[in-house]
Structure 1
Amino acid sequence: MELHLKIIGTLLSLLAFIHISFPKYFNWKTELKSLSLINKQMMAVHTFFIALVVFLIGLLCLTSSNELVHTSLGKKISLGLGVFWILRLVFQLFVYSPKLWKGKKFETTMHIVFTFFWIYMSTLFFMIYLK
């Protein structure tokens, strides 16, 4: 399980850094033009903090995999992370509209990749907790 945590840690760290490209990729300069200043800044700030949390979870998995698997506190943290990622999976499947990805090759691929990634993480964290 520790190897899986290190894999997840690496992937989450990469995902965190990918957030840097979001404003350009999603064309926020144009797309958010009509928003008020507070809403524009909330998008930027929330994206930063989402990326930071994803990075810190990745760092935790990379540096503390043994503790997550073998200690009572680690198992409780794993339960929390399992809940977090299962909720992210629910949002992936039932909150985001299929119109965002259906019929679009790249978007469909990303939808499938991230669906399996959320399943992988949720399953692993719950397995750690239950072990």
Structure 2
Amino acid sequence: MDLHLKIIGSFFIVLALIHIIFPKYFNWKAELRSLSLMNRQMMVIHTIFIALVVFLMGLLCITSSQELIETALGKKIILGLGVFWTTRLVIQFFGYSSELWKGKIFETLIHLVFSLFWLYTSIIFWFIYFS
């Protein structure tokens, strides 16, 4: 399980760093122009904090995998991570419209890759928690 947590942690760090390209890739300068200043800034700032939290989860999984597996506090943290990422897996299918990816090769591939990653992550966290 130690290796699985390190793999997950590495992916979390990569995912967090990918957030850097969101504003340009999703054309936020034009797309968010119609929003109020408050909503524009909330979108950007919340994205930064989501990336930071995902990055810190990654560091935790890489640097403290044994503690997460073997200690009571680690198991509680793993429970929280299991709930969080399982919820994220459900949102992948019920929070986003399939219109965003159906019939689009790249978007469908990304949808599939992330669905499988959330599933893998959830399974590992739940397995650790219940073992």
Range into which the TM-score falls when normalised by the shorter chain? over 0.9
1:83: which partner in 2?
83
Cα distance, 1:95 vs structure 2 = 1.0
Amino acid at match of 1:26: F
Unaligned runs of 5+ in 1: none
Partner of 1:9: 9
1:54 to 2:54 alignment? yes
Where do 4+ consecutive residues of structure 1 move more than 4 Å? none
Taking only the aligned residue pairs, the percentage that are identical comes to: 67
Q: TM-score, normalised by structure 2?
A: 0.99
RMSD in angstroms over aligned alpha carbons? Answer: 0.5
Counterparts of 1:72 and 1:128, CA distance in 2: 12
In structure 2, C-alpha distance between the alignment counterparts of 1:95 and 1:66, rounded to whole Å: 34
How many pairs align? 131
- Tell me how far apart the structure 2 counterparts of residues 24 and 105 of structure 1 sit (CA, whole Å): 21
Task: Please state how far the C-alpha of 1:41 moved relative to its aligned partner.
Answer: 0.1
Q: Which amino acid is 1:38 matched to?
A: M
Q: Which residue of 1 aligns with 2:109?
A: 109
**Alignment correspondent of 2:70:** 70
Runs of 5+ unmatched residues, structure 2: none
CA–CA separation in structure 1 for the residues paired with 2:50 and 2:104: 26
Tell me what 1:32 maps to.
32
Q: TM-score, normalised by structure 1?
A: 0.99
* CA distance in 2: counterparts of 1:48 and 1:93, whole angstroms: 24
